[in-house]
Amino acid sequence: MRLEDRIVMITGAARALGRSHSLLFAREGADLLLVDSCGADGPYPLAERKQLEETAQACRGLGSRVVTAVADVRDSGQVEAAVAAGMREFERIDVLVNNAGLLAPGGVLSHELSEDDWTRVLDVNLTGTWRCCRAVLPHMVERRSGAIVNTASTGGRVAFEMFSNYVASKHAVVGLTKALALEYGRYGIRVNSVSPSTVAADPALGTGSTADVARRMGASLEDYERGSSSYHALGRLVSAQEVSAACLWLASPESGGATGTDLLVDGGFTAR
Ligand SMILES: NC(=O)c1ccc[n+]([C@@H]2O[C@H](COP(=O)([O-])OP(=O)(O)OC[C@H]3O[C@@H](n4cnc5c(N)ncnc54)[C@H](O)[C@@H]3O)[C@@H](O)[C@H]2O)c1
């Protein structure tokens, strides 16, 4: 039980990686504040309220106390309200996992991106991460303790053509992570990020963003995944559970010496 009695806030918790993180953290003894925008308009279908509640129920089944909050990380008021709901129930937040993110639109040259395409991805991936940190950090500073795990991507370490808004946002998440690590280390707060490569779709976790990328590339999800696998040293995509395990390590006392680091879980994608 590596997170026994810890209170963990996870954004984008309704499906895919967010659901996987929630389940693992529940198994490791954490109580959870699960946040998702639930159906807010997106460039592709985002998770629904029902999926957030399914994640919550599954975590309760594993013994966790769970509070759910519908909040769009683009809205400071909604983020503050979600954190307040968690504080009312749990009185502290020990760990923040910033997982909510958008990858859209894929396959578009930079000069073809609209102002909205650019702003939306930066607003969710980068500014949304900062908004959640801003809402939680005062409580962590007061207690002189905390761990934040941001979600970058291999796209935060190397570039992909035709995804410049995403690549820019994820490089910025790595930079934000380092800056926060420097600022808050003196308060006993560690800030790290995880950088997954393409995560294999898992129907039990709900279809995620990769399905939309495949669609935009004119490929089936299976063909897209098969093609992507060959770029990885392991010859396969990483699993959601492998990414969750990295987040768990960064969130737990076991990684006590790590701050300002970006942990790749990329099957060797960036090794070449
Ligand atoms: N899946 C991958 O291959 C992959 C690879 C590298 C990095 N990532 C990153 O991992 C994170 C999760 O990705 P995923 O594939 O699970 O995505 P996903 O689209 O399946 O899930 C994202 C979740 O975040 C929620 N969300 C989206 N916008 C939101 C907002 N504005 N406010 C609150 N919640 C919001 C969605 O409703 C959804 O539940 C993202 O940050 C993504 O960039 C994913």
In a domain, 270, yes or no: no
pLDDT, residue 105, reads: 86
In a domain, 20, yes or no: yes
Considering its fold, how many domains does the chain have in total? 1
Whether pLDDT at 209 is above 80: no
| Mean local confidence (pLDDT), 230-247 | 97
Q: Are 71 and 47 in contact (CB under 8 A)?
A: no
Cite the DSSP H helix spans in the chain.
16-27, 49-61, 76-90, 115-122, 128-143, 164-184, 209-216, 221-229, 240-251
Ligand 1 atom 40: the closest Cα is on which residue? 101
| Mean local confidence (pLDDT), 257-269 | 98
Whether pLDDT at 208 is above 80: no
Determine the Cα angle at 257 with ends 255 and 263, to 5°: 55
Residue with the two structure tokens 């930066």: 122
Ligand 1 atom 25: the closest Cα is on which residue? 12
Q: Which residues fall within 8 angstroms of residue 183, CB to CB, at 6 or more apart?
A: none
Is 157's C-beta closer than 6 angstroms to any atom of ligand 1? no
Confidence of residue 211 (pLDDT cuts 50, 70, 90): confident
What residue numbers bound the domain in which 202 lies? 7-265
Q: What is the CA radius of gyration of the chain?
A: 17
In a domain, 19, yes or no: yes
Confidence of residue 40 (pLDDT cuts 50, 70, 90): confident
Confidence of residue 200 (pLDDT cuts 50, 70, 90): very high
pLDDT, residue 7, reads: 98
Q: How far apart are the first and last CA of the chain?
A: 36
Is 151's C-beta closer than 6 angstroms to any atom of ligand 1? yes
Whether pLDDT at 206 is above 80: yes
Confidence of residue 207 (pLDDT cuts 50, 70, 90): low
Average pLDDT over the chain reads: 96
Report which of residues 210 and 141 the model is more confident about: 141
Residue 181 and residue 19: Cα distance in Å, rounded? 26
pLDDT above 70: percentage of residues in the chain: 99
In a domain, 2, yes or no: no
Residue 65 and residue 45: Cα distance in Å, rounded? 28
Whether pLDDT at 165 is above 90: yes
CATH for 153: 3.40.50.720
- The question of whether 44 is a catalytic residue gets the answer no
In a domain, 73, yes or no: yes
Q: Which residues fall within 8 angstroms of residue 108, CB to CB, at 6 or more apart?
A: 117, 162
DSSP string for residues in 44-89: S----HHHHHHHHHHHHHTT--EEEEE--TT-HHHHHHHHHHHHHH
Mutate to test the pocket of ligand 1, among 21, 33, 36 (most ligand atoms within 8 A of CB): 36
In a domain, 128, yes or no: yes
Is 243's C-beta closer than 6 angstroms to any atom of ligand 1? no
pTM: 0.98
In a domain, 70, yes or no: yes
In a domain, 131, yes or no: yes
Q: Is 267 left (phi over 0), alpha (psi -120 to 50) or beta?
A: left
